[in-house]
Amino acid sequence: MEGFSVEEALERVLRLTSEANRWRLRETVNLIASENVMSPLAVKAYMSDFMYRYAEGKPFKRYYQGTRYIDELEVFTTEIISRLLKTEYVELRPISGTIANASVFRVLADPGDSAVIAPVQAGAHVSHTKFGTLGALGIRHVEMPYDAENMNVDVDGAVKLIEEVRPKFAVLGGSVYLFPHPVREIADAIHSVGGKLVYDAAHVLGLIVGGVWRNPLEHGADAMTASTHKTFPGPQGGLIAFTDKALYKKVSKTIFPWFLSNHHLHRIPALAVTALEMAKYGHEYAKAIVENARHFAESLAAEGFEVIGERLGYTRSHQVLIDVRKQGRGAKAAKMLEEANIIVNKNLLPWDPPEAVKDPSGLRLGVQEVTRWGMGKGEMEEVARLMAEVLIKGRDPQEVRKKVVEFRKEYTKINYSLEGDLETILDLTL
């Protein structure tokens, strides 16, 4: 092409990739609640020949030849995760949490049917709503009432609503919630009208595996969708676990060909490695995450931030929410912190109307990645101080950035990993 240099373009691509790697992995404090880092061993497993290949359909029943190794590996990985989640029925093929949700929603309801979802204030993900996957499937979005005092679903109101609407399914879990949802109560209500309960564990899968967050499958959920790259520190992707065998079979037949063709096979060995790491270190890691989140919230409050949920103990998940209206609202605050190499996301808070999504009142913070880098309570205090320098004390973000870069030099090893500890894989008891 005239005026276009492939060599110069390639140099730019490689430069941007290299700079992004160094910046995010070595120079920033990443507090995005929906992200994490894989271990070096999982990355090695990820970079395999499987990334080039197709395996449409179920293991040992593929539409392509040449799949015998991924067939065996996919079955084995499913067995490992089934043990971690204490259920026989697990689907690993969804390539995201949203695809997992879509696959379940489509089986449970037809266009025009109703679904009752947790309110946005209580954590609903966009895929649960009429603005996302639910709307794309033509399923009517009915929102449960919200208990502002307890920052959760209003149980009595939700039960009454379910009895009135008689929806095909209800959804709990999601993307922004500090405290466990009332799974048993909503499960009993939805089952009484012949419906099913779906729990979106995208954010808390690692906490569930680690035993610090109750497993919704043991409290009445019929299906649990999840992401595999948040508090569960694996490759980007999704999964679905079931207590209901019949539902499992129906959804398995729906994933392909309705919602995906190939399911990105290189995810599977990396997912297996991560699952084995969680089998060995999951409780220790999950416990550290929730302890760090609580201490981070307390430290932010001590620095003068308005941290949400004080009366309730701030948080029981990996997330912390802060109200930054005094600091110029969420969009401005998030941008200023990014200039200081502290990466967060702006987020709606309970009182924000939906139209405030582009500049909401709050910030959502997650500690799962910094915990995997080895940070503990002392480091949570330091990160809170650095955030306060930018947003409360008005220091130049570029000056604070230098402190952040220096601070991050001490945290370059990924913890809770089997890297360098390979001989223990054979000794794992799942």
23-34 pLDDT tens trace: 999 999 999 999
For 125, residues 6+ apart whose C-beta sits below 8 A from its C-beta are 97, 98, 101, 132, 174, 175, 200, 202
Give the closest residue to 370 by CA, choosing from 2, 49, 10, 25. Answer: 25
Structural domain boundaries in the chain: 44-276, 281-408
pLDDT at 423: 47
pLDDT at residue 299 in the model: 98
Closest CA to 220 of 195, 184, 251, 250: 184
CB 216 within 8 A of CB 199: yes
User: Could you report how far apart the first and last alpha carbons of the chain are, in Å?
Assistant: 57
What pLDDT is recorded for position 290?
A: 98
Q: What is the pLDDT of residue 1?
A: 65
Ranges of residues in the chain with a pLDDT under 50 are 422-430
What per-residue confidence (pLDDT) applies to 430? 37
> What is the rounded distance in angstroms from the CA atom of residue 201 to the CA atom of residue 214?
11
- The SS3 call for residue 385 is helix
| Cα(345)–Cα(401) distance, integer angstroms | 17
Phi, psi of 55 (to 5 degrees): -150, 65
Q: Omega into 257 within 30° of 0, i.e. cis?
A: yes
Q: What are phi and psi of 237, to 5 degrees?
A: 170, -175
Look at residue 356 in the predicted model and tell me its pLDDT: 84
397-408 and 377-391 helices, crossing angle to 10° = 170
Protein fold of 44-276: Aspartate Aminotransferase; domain 2 (3.40.640)
**CATH fold group of domain 281-408:** Aspartate Aminotransferase, domain 1 (3.90.1150)
Q: What's the pLDDT at 420?
A: 55
